[in-house]
Amino acid sequence: MLPSDEARELLELTREIATKELAPQVHEAEEAAVFPEAAYRLLGRSGLLSLPFDEEYGGGGQPYEVYLQVIEEIAAAWPSVGVGTSVHSLTSTVVAANASEEMKQEWLPKLLGGDWLGAYCLSEPQAGSDVSGIRASAVLDGDAYVVNGTKQWISNGSCADYYILFARTSPDPKRGLSAFIVPDGTPGMGFGAPEKKMGLACDVTTQVLFDDARIPVAQLIGEEGRGMQVALSALDAGRLGIAAVATGIAQAALDFSVDYAKERVQFGRPIGDNQGLQFMLADMAAAVERSRASYLHAARLKDAGLPFSRQASIAKLTATDAAMKVTTDAVQVFGGNGYTREYPVERLFRDAKVTQIFEGTNQIQRMVIARDLLR
């Protein structure tokens, strides 16, 4: 699956970090809902936050398929960090694909070198899947835009070093949105309390609040009024990141289940000797392989410069539905133990659920797929 010796070495490095640095702390950290800042700094120093970006800006110059397999490995060890890394790459993608050359030179080395962690401010209380419902406003006033509004469900919220903000610069429904980069600490920007979520406790999620925040014109990404195109094009790549995260969650659940099936003895023999459980494990393994194949197919289209929007939605739909099914079956394999916090599969079950919701719900993915088929 990996196209070069360098890519194989990157994946080996990722597995080493995941095994030695991430996995040992995940249970305690998730119970305490502690933001894993040190983990992101480690990934940044190791060059794992910059993989699919151009080397001239400090990127790793790797194909997207390599980046996604790295995300999968991270997520298998610690799903919250996998999600946060995917979100950071989404923000970097917006700058790399849409900003001026001057802006790229100024911002990308910070974004890709691990110095800064990003957050993506698109959703609002009344605008989740419906991006056209965004109400946050950015009114030009001299050399700055005055921004007011509330962003909702922002991963890395209050913990990020910069925010990619989408706000309305005109009432035009198609060309009314614009994109900005906003450093943390900008006057007029604040945060709500962290959400108390079902899973992904270390993926700190908050509202981001703007109250007459002044954003210099120089921090406008691309042209005014192109925010809708910027947001939607970036989400295609972001959905592949979530597909990789979901595949990592499912792979971890499968691995735990296989180990448990070998060790757990009932009626004088390992429970893995029972054909009914063997069939469950086989179906789980098939689901993981389908998920991985789906996101890799879409990534290869992207790497080749070919359209991949439908395939990204298929990958996101396939992998996240599979993650929910595989983690549900993992709890069943563990029986009563799987329902307790002493074992990891219940956490993976809770973490998997939101993958069907963010980056566009799976119902939205089905709409995207069908619309593309019928056009």
Beta-carbon contacts of 183 under 8 Å, excluding residues fewer than 6 positions away, are 161, 162, 163
Beta-carbon contacts of 306 under 8 Å, excluding residues fewer than 6 positions away, are none
Answer for the pair 355, 318: CB distance below 8 angstroms, yes or no.
no
- What distance in Å separates the CA atoms of residue 235 and residue 223, rounded to the nearest whole number? 19
Give Cα 134 to chain centroid, integer Å: 21
Lookup result for tokens 């990141």: 241
Contacts from 222-226 at CB under 8 Å and sequence distance 24+?
222/98, 222/99, 222/100, 222/179, 223/178, 224/169, 224/178, 225/169, 225/170, 225/172, 225/175, 225/176, 225/177, 225/178, 226/98, 226/175, 226/177, 226/178, 226/179
Beta-carbon contacts of 19 under 8 Å, excluding residues fewer than 6 positions away, are 77
Beta-carbon contacts of 289 under 8 Å, excluding residues fewer than 6 positions away, are none
61-86 in b/e form (b: 16+ CB < 10 A) is ebbbbbbbbbbbbbbbbbbbbbbbbb
Q: Where is 313: in which H helix or E strand?
A: helix 309-334
Cα dihedral sign for 213, 219, 225, 228? negative
Token pair in block for residue 188: 């007029």
- What distance in Å separates the CA atoms of residue 11 and residue 359, rounded to the nearest whole number? 25
- What distance in Å separates the CA atoms of residue 147 and residue 347, rounded to the nearest whole number? 38
- What distance in Å separates the CA atoms of residue 253 and residue 256, rounded to the nearest whole number? 5
Q: What are the residue numbers of the active site? A: 359
